[in-house]
């Protein structure tokens, strides 16, 4: 049996979503939430009347506290996006809205960092409103542009094992504005053919009039689009640390 190293990005995202407890306590529509739900759907409840409910059932405020209070075991780690915090609160207040389709359309930004990901698979296309995808510090060797949502504007691939941009440069997302490739295995001299205006035409149209060749901006997508070999290393430079 061949041992597969790493996992797919969709599998990593599934694991991350499960940690949010969107359909289990303290979120979801279980018995603990019956004081403000009817048949699994949210209803308006007077806080004064809520005081007389079954003690095994939690009030909406108490459940909200469980996902936001620093001392709660259900609070997420620091650094989670506001999108995720809002989704958990929504899963408490209106659990009937948390369908698979809603979750896929909800996220505009996703981070899968240092999770042993090796495959950017086609299931990522389910997130059809995704604008920012951070896949830093993984084991990715190649990225097929056909597996990237067409809405993507930011793709961060810092600290992976990418050695070629051939697959990524074949019909990339038309709105992509930032491509981070620092700390990979890319050799500029052999990859110039994939960093031209033909592959990245949207960048030329968007940025050619905004930047001068003598004033390159670190991390800006226009460097690749202009096809200027001297500036390609800028794309490969690590992102700046902001204090």
10-residue mean pLDDT profile of the chain (243 residues): values are 68 92 87 60 44 60 88 82 91 90 95 95 96 96 96 92 88 86 76 63 38 35 38 49 48
Q: What is the pLDDT of residue 91?
A: 92
Q: Is the pTM of this model over 0.75?
A: no
On whether both 120 and 168 belong to a single domain, the answer is yes
Q: How many domains in the chain?
A: 2
199 inside domain: yes
- Phi/psi for 102 (5° steps) reads -65, -45
Domain that holds residue 36: 23-97
10 inside domain: no
CATH of the domain at 133: 3.80.10
Q: What is the rounded CA–CA span in Å between residue 87 and residue 150?
A: 23
Q: Which of 42, 65, 97 is the last residue of a domain?
A: 97
Helices within the chain (DSSP H only)? 9-18, 47-50, 60-68, 82-93, 100-106, 188-191, 201-207, 222-225, 232-236
Q: What is the rounded CA–CA span in Å between residue 207 and residue 212?
A: 9
34 inside domain: yes
Could you give the 3-state DSSP secondary structure of residue 188? helix
Q: Which of 97, 115, 139 is the last residue of a domain?
A: 97
Pairing status of strand 154-156 against strand 178-180: parallel
């Amino acid at each position: 049996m061949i041992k597969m190293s790493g996992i797919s990005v969709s599998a990593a995202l599934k694991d991350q979503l499960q940690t949010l407890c969107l359909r289990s306590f303290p979120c979801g529509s279980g018995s603990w939430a019956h004081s403000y739900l009817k048949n699994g759907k949210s209803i308006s409840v007077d806080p004064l009347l809520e005081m007389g409910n079954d003690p095994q059932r939690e009030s909406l405020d108490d459940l909200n506290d469980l996902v936001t209070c620093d001392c709660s075991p259900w609070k997420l780690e620091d650094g989670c996006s506001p999108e995720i915090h809002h989704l958990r609160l929504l899963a408490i207040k209106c659990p009937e809205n948390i369908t698979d389709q809603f979750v896929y359309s909800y996220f505009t930004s996703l981070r899968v960092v240092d999770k042993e990901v090796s495959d950017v698979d086609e299931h990522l296309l389910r997130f059809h409103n995704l604008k920012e995808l951070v896949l830093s510090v993984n084991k990715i060797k190649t990225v097929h542009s056909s597996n990237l949502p067409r809405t993507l504007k930011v793709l961060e691939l810092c600290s992976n094992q990418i050695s070629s941009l051939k697959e990524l440069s074949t019909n990339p997302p038309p709105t992509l504005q930032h491509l981070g490739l620092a700390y990979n295995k890319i050799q500029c001299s052999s990859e110039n053919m994939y960093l031209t205006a033909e592959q990245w035409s949207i960048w030329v149209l968007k940025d050619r009039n905004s930047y001068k060749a003598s004033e390159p901006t670190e991390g800006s997508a226009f460097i690749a689009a202009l096809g200027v070999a001297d500036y390609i290393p800028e794309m490969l430079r690590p992102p700046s640390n902001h204090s």
